[in-house]
Amino acid sequence: MNDQRGRHHLKRSELTQAIVFYREAVRRLPDYVLASEYLAEALALSGQVNQAITRYERIVSQTSHAESLAALARLHREQGQLDKAKAWKRLATLRYESLLQAYPEAMQRHADIAW
């Protein structure tokens, strides 16, 4: 429920409220990757880039979540940390390629959006 409320506020660019609901969703279900990913997205959009990077790094340390890998590449590039950005992009590319091969119809849209 908090995840849905967070998504509602995120879509409306109400970032402070979105972050509150996503934090609660993650507190209640710490292994729910999607809530963590949306929290990281909201943090990044609100200018809390270091917190977003930390959140994304936590996600990818537990999963091979392709969107989080791509987000790390983008955030590091935006911060001028090009070596880190290249490393994360390489990992994201490998993950997307793997997913595209296994699930071409399902993953095509995700890969198109990420790059």
Cα(93)–Cα(8) distance, rounded to whole angstroms?
Answer: 30
Whole-Å CA distances, 39 to 12, 45, 105: 15, 10, 27
Q: Which CATH class is domain 2-114?
A: mainly alpha
Q: Is the pLDDT of residue 112 over 80?
A: no
Residue 72 is given by DSSP the state H
Indicate the pLDDT class of residue 2, thresholds 50, 70 and 90: confident
Domain boundaries defined on the chain: 2-114
* Arithmetic mean of pLDDT over the chain: 91
Q: Residue 55 has what pLDDT?
A: 97
Query: Quick check: helix, strand or coil at residue 58?
Result: helix
Residue 80 has what pLDDT? 97
Is residue 42 within 8 Å of residue 90, measured between CB atoms? no
Do residues 37 and 59 touch, judged by C-beta distance below 8 A? yes
User: What pLDDT, in 10s, does the model give residues 60-91?
Assistant: 999 988 999 999 999 999 999 999 999 999 99
The strand ranges marked E within the chain are: none
How remote is the C-alpha of 40 from its chain's centroid?
Answer: 6
pLDDT tens, 24-68?
Answer: 999 999 999 999 999 999 999 999 999 999 999 999 999 988 999
